[in-house]
A and B are shown apart, each in its own frame.
Chain A
Amino acid sequence: MEPLKQHTGRVYPLNRANVDTDQIIPKQFLKRIERQGFGQFLFYHWRFHDDGTKRKDFSLNDPMYEGASILVGGENFGCGSSREHAPWAIQDFGFKVVIAPSFADIFYNNCFKNGILPIQLPISVTENMIKEAEDHPYELKVDLEEQVVSDGSQTVSFDIQPYHKEMLLNGWDEIAVTLTYQEKIDQFEQKQS
């Protein structure tokens, strides 16, 4: 996994609560057995008409957000199914950071395994970011080491578990880390049987 220390990018605002993983990546795309290539299907039914043409009424199709790499969403982002295809699609589309007032647990965890940084901020802050980004091209600078997000005029700090932080900063392979505890797992199993 690629380490992520700092990131600066354009914001895409998605002003909806309870965006579920069925919307992020609809089920017909879950049949693939690969990990790559899901970005083209991100928010599929919101982005495209049934005939495959782009919907004008969905903001991600607005040229203003082309190349955006920071998604700012609403409450309970990523709820529903545990499908990791959701973070795969978000990452493959080009997003590196997702900011929301609250996340669903499984989605939040899945992000770290895929080099995406989910940041939880108070709703007053996220709503303000959404307003700015709906209004004009809006950039944020995220510094994971310092745990701050800044738009140049305002800086807010965020919480993150030290373990998650380390994982992203170092781009760790979590399984390799766990395998260094193999002996403890062996001992546990011996005790259990």
Chain B
Amino acid sequence: MDQPKTIIEKIWEQHMVHEEEGKPDLLYIDLHLIHEVTSPQAFEGLRMSGRQVRRPDRTYATMDHNVPTVHRNVIKDAVSKKQMDTLKENCEEFGIRLADIDHPDQGIVHVIGPELGLTQPGKTIVCGDSHTSTHGAFGALAFGIGTSEVEHVLATQSLWQSKPKTLQVHVDGKLGTGVTAKDLILAIIGKFGVRFGTGHVIEYTGEAVQNLSMEERMTVCNMSIEAGARAGLISPDEKTVEYLKGRRHVPAGQDFDDVVDQWLSLASDEGASYDQTVMIHADEIEPQVTWGTNPSQSVPVGGHVPDPEVVKEDRDGVERAIEYMGLEANQSIESIPVEHVFIGSCTNSRLSDLKRAAEIVRGGKVHDRVKAIVVPGSQTVKHQAEAEGLHTIFLTAGFEWRDAGCSMCLAMNDDIVPPGERCASTSNRNFEGRQGNGSRTHLVSPEMAAAAALEGRFVDVRKYASTVGG
């Protein structure tokens, strides 16, 4: 038998167009996703040099970062409007499919790729967005690129990439009741830091990972970039196949059976070796809350804000983060009041996320102090949720129920957390000012966000034991 290989090596080899000593490899790109914020300068570059889009059929565009999530047809911000109009014009000029603001498929780029079946195992997928790693949940090699690279892929359908190192993150055991995929990835980043993945592609393995649903796998892979990794993926299995079956861009009939064999053969071989392996035990993980301004600064909900006097590393950074967040050393997490709750973003805005949050919310009322919004990841998710009556549960409790987009994850539209106010958010970044200048973000799971909305502060979601699933 050949030398055992990881899925990362297999996909890499299958996409190598050219290799040469002293150079990165020229890698073929199967799918290029684009959105309004990181593409205008790329199209402008093409026009200036008289170049064409090589494979419009392998390119797919949507609008997500800027779009309003209420009153969609009145875009008050002229600059945002210009950016959306520019994407539309560019897609028309170069013959690229676009799910624009009125389109039933519109949504966050990393939500709609899998939903439409564009995302498939073994593909190389890029997008001018760092959370492209989300698509790795399907066993695709998916990574974020800059605008010059967007232009490069448009013109050549390829990219120069140096071969990444491989990093196995092995999660054994089982996640406890009320402990989610979000808590798992926050715990991983909390344990190993925001740069342990630098220069690597992560493969998540182990019992706890296999047990995750496809939507939960997307939550984990989504935040690989927060660990510094270029991409994160999970070997495809029966769950992957089941999820993709019947989706619009997935082959059907005999072609499907053939492609399934190919997909499953991509899984990392037994005995394949990685440049690095780290381990974490799922049973030790508890619901997490970030207290600081980078995603590794998290503690279990029963814990406390750290004391800069006793931390071993980056004392100044810890001190600055506590000050920015308006917290005190040793303060208990459960004593932190929140004014905003955001359930959404490419990390946690899929149907199962909304369902689990709704289970907590059902019959309750949003706390007086709190303004809470639910922003489904795509219009499709929105309609599915409405078909199941989830919107009624949220609306009755006092949440707002919005249209799809990135929304308060980065506050490029009107969904902003005001200076000094605090938000329990299901998104992926708690950087200074991420949700609005001076805003304070605490990253949590959808269940934890829902519970915080009801109680006006962080609480251990496991106290809703009768409603949290295993």
Contacts and interface: CB of A to CB of B under 8 A. Distances in A.
Interface stretch (B21-29, B101-109, B372-380): B21-29
A175 B86 CA distance: 23
Interface string A130-157: 0000000000000000000000000000
B194 interface: yes
A102 interface: yes
B195 A102 contact: yes
Interface residues of A, number: 51
B157 interface: yes
Contacts of B144: 82, 106
A81 B433 contact: no
A127 interface: no
Nearest to A112: B148
A102 B199 CA distance: 10
Given A35-B44, A45-B432, A76 B195 contact: yes
Given A23-B431, A80-B431, A175 B155 contact: yes
Nearest to B432: A23
Contacts of A85: 147
Given A76-B195, A188-B28, A33 B86 contact: yes
Given A31-B412, A184-B17, A79 B195 contact: yes
A2 interface: no
Interface residues of B, number: 61
Given A26-B433, A28-B412, A33-B44, A106 B160 contact: no
Most B Cβ at <10 Å: residue of A28, A50, A87, A162: A28
B467 interface: no
B37 interface: yes
Most A Cβ at <10 Å: residue of B23, B130, B411: B130
Contacts of B434: 22
A84 B147 contact: yes
Nearest to A23: B432
Given A17-B314, A113-B146, A179-B156, A31 B66 contact: yes
A22 B198 contact: no
Give the top 4 A-B pairs by smallest Cβ distance, nearest first: A113-B148, A84-B146, A33-B40, A110-B146
Interface of B: 17-18, 22-24, 26, 28, 37-38, 40-41, 44, 49, 51, 54, 65-66, 77, 79-80, 82-83, 86, 128-130, 144-149, 151-152, 155-158, 160, 162, 194-195, 198-199, 225, 228, 230, 294, 314, 316-317, 410-412, 419, 429, 431-434, 437
Interface of A: 16-18, 20, 22-23, 26-28, 30-35, 45, 50, 75-76, 79-85, 87, 102-106, 109-110, 113-114, 161-163, 173-175, 178-179, 181-182, 184-185, 188-189, 192
Given A27-B410, A113-B149, 11 more contacts: A20-B431, A50-B419, A50-B437, A80-B429, A82-B130, A105-B198, A105-B228, A106-B146, A174-B152, A178-B152, A185-B26
